[in-house]
Structure 1
């Protein structure tokens, strides 16, 4: 899920220097001497900025640019960590090779196109070029009164496979040997506080069971609009202890999030199965998929690749009328902002990449980025706008579904 305010237990790189704003048309040369031209800035994080980008040419970088550039001062750490991952695993030929060898329709890793250092005004900046993505799905969630339909939640659970932000990427099993369970007080509560795993709360390095636990919290939040600990996020120990109680008795979690009779049985089964995993265990991912597929079947749906982002009321949970009003206002404001951008070309406003108003989109083009986004050019609920996650969100979710 998206970046939230830094919590007391989380490492907060607040003292890192924020990258200066580069002028429209600034040219960066990567390590292979290929040149990239920057367009308008479309977002910033705690210490980095995100720009539209394209291969250098005599033309200016338009709103339909196929790439983005992440830029941050070279002495900062998160982008350097990301680069190590992207250079190792995300080169286009490597992704194509993996996809083909595993008979996949796609591999959920954005393609890495280049990186390097750039000197400006006596300062050194690190940059990385990657695929551009579309609208932040979190915004759709908020505009939808913080609720997705049962069918959509299960399909997202089945196929959330695109990760963008690897600022906290971690090799949990180097050379085939899993890291041992070790609690580190300095790492306690790493991640986005409401979704992070119990292991992370205890300062333990990421593992596959933690990834699946995080996905479970996300699905529950999407479906119910609520997590039991969300009113006490400033107290990470309270959040941790609440998660432990809910893990030990999954029925408590379900009762708090789904107080009526209509509880999603497949979510409870999913969380029970996560509970049984050991730290170093390799999950049988197909078993988790089967749980979610059975959930779709139970509500008379199938995994048809279509996501419905219409306003949803799930089971016994009714949408607050004020939330509906806020959703309508947010959607109106979004359309107004897009119209202004089209008229002015201002770099401070976001231009849509599609004018479609359909309530459905192709599921195979939904991305998980620490933020959730829709791919540029696909058909979402509202017009697409550029992704706004710069380097601020330090890998809020490390999801692996095999």
Structure 2
């Protein structure tokens, strides 16, 4: 991806390559449910993009189903991470040394209540663990079609969103799904503020599940099949 930075009318601006649809758009196109195969192919790329951002010293701060988009043309099967307005540095460099930002509370809440981590709801300053917890919620949302606290998100009852998130166990939230999903969520929730996540551990769990299901990494996402089916239906109607 090629980016250009500069100043326009006294403000900072960034020009990015033209991207394809957001995963949320494709999710709606597929009638609000992705198959396990599609989710696992997406998850591997989503986690890689998050790790790349973290490796650069930044956290995203507001991951949602809209902040992951697909590419176009030769990159049509590639996932991109966009919308950096809440991104922030979690590493300070002083005297040539990299130092994690300090732990803070009562920093306020911003972003999407649906996918925010428990600690962000509580007002703790964001760190890498929060991006990963948000990513897992997005993955579960794609698999299940909704999350149990979404009914309160629409009415902006944040205290009820937090209440459900803190009271529901990973095992209950991931009921009916392969055990790997509860394992990953428990891992992310257990991370300490300045822990460096084991990204490979998470991705390998999902890769092993992918292989155990005998899936092929053919990039045949659900929306491709939906599009072909609808084209065929149009031809016969």
Say whether the fold is shared (TM-score over 0.5): yes
Q: 1:282 to 1:126 in 2, by over 3 A?
A: closer
Q: 1:172, 1:126 → 2: CA distance?
A: 21
For 2:171, the equivalent position in structure 1 comes to 251
For 1:202, the equivalent position in structure 2 comes to 122
Task: Give TM-score scaled by structure 2 length.
Answer: 0.73
For 2:222, the equivalent position in structure 1 comes to 309
For 1:345, the equivalent position in structure 2 comes to none
Q: Offset of 1:136 from its aligned partner? A: 2.6
Higher RCO (C-alpha 8 Å, min separation 6):
1
Give SS of 1:115's match: strand
Q: Where do residues 156-305 of structure 1 align in structure 2 (5 Å cutoff)? A: 156-160=42-46, 161=49, 162-175=80-93, 176-185=98-107, 187-188=108-109, 190-233=110-153, 234-246=156-168, 249-255=169-175, 262-302=176-216, 304=217
Q: Are 1:130 and 2:16 an aligned pair? A: yes
Q: Offset of 1:125 from its aligned partner? A: 5.9
Q: 1:129 to 1:183 in 2, by over 3 A?
A: same
Q: 1:207, 1:294 → 2: CA distance?
A: 27
Q: 1:311, 1:133 → 2: CA distance?
A: 17
Give SS of 1:177's match: strand
Q: 2:87, 2:166 → 1: CA distance?
A: 25
Q: 2:184, 2:88 → 1: CA distance?
A: 25
Task: Give TM-score scaled by structure 1 length.
Answer: 0.44
Give SS of 2:81's match: coil
RMSD of aligned Cα (Å): 2.3
The one of 110, 113, 122 equivalent to 2:4 is 113
1:96-148 Cα distance to aligned partner (Å, 9 max, x none): xxxxxxxxxxxxxx432232223xxxxx6654322221223321111111111
Give SS of 1:306's match: coil
The structure whose residues are more often helix, as a share, is 2
Q: 1:147, 1:292 → 2: CA distance?
A: 18
Q: Offset of 1:200 from its aligned partner? A: 1.2
Q: 1:218, 1:254 → 2: CA distance?
A: 12
Q: 1:125 to 1:171 in 2, by over 3 A?
A: closer
Q: 1:127, 1:209 → 2: CA distance?
A: 28
Give SS of 1:193's match: coil
Q: 1:310, 1:170 → 2: CA distance?
A: 33
For 2:60, the equivalent position in structure 1 comes to none
CA contact (8 A) 2:26 2:223 kept: no
Unaligned runs of 5+ in 1: 1-109, 119-123, 256-261, 313-327, 329-356, 360-402
CA contact (8 A) 2:171 2:182 kept: yes
Q: 2:117, 2:102 → 1: CA distance?
A: 16
CA contact (8 A) 2:103 2:125 kept: yes
Q: 1:305, 1:177 → 2: CA distance?
A: 41
1:201-233 Cα distance to aligned partner (Å, 9 max, x none): 112222111111001000000011020101111
1:318-368 Cα distance to aligned partner (Å, 9 max, x none): xxxxxxxxxx9xxxxxxxxxxxxxxxxxxxxxxxxxxxx558xxxxxxxxx
Q: What is the aligned length?
A: 191
Unaligned runs of 5+ in 2: 50-79, 230-237
